[in-house]
Amino acid sequence: MFLSNSFVSAFRDLDDLLFNSSVFTLNKENGSLSLNLTLPGVKPEDLSIDIVGRDLIIKYKDRSDRVLSEKYVVNSLYDIDAIKATYANGLLEIEIPRTTPKAVTRSITFK
């Protein structure tokens, strides 16, 4: 599972998704996630994407100048440092690659 709350599950918490603020699609390809938001009428200068901890926060101003935000919590299976986004013609595309597992070896001392 890569998104929770009846979507899919690289994000654990979609409770803050604003009702009727955008059209949301999520695809999983080659282990990565592709999040697409349709934001008609939103100018690039009225859009921001921030990472706070593991929260992906998208803020934008709609046609009626209301500031809206959407928050997605990205779980640890995905690399928040490698997120890429593009925005053109009202379509925001965010690519979130899967984290490459790192083998950790350590010795445990005992008494």
pLDDT digits (tens, 9 = 90+) for 56-88: 999 999 888 889 888 888 888 889 999 999 999
The domains found in the chain, sorted by start residue, are 23-96 (2.60.40.790)
Residue 12: its pLDDT value, please? 38
Intra-chain end-to-end CA distance of the chain, in Å: 41
Those residues of the chain that have pLDDT short of 70 are 1-22
The pTM (predicted TM-score) of the whole model is 0.70
Q: What is the pLDDT of residue 22?
A: 58
Distance CA 3, CA 52 (A): 18
Dihedral sign computed on CA atoms, order 37, 43, 46, 52 = positive
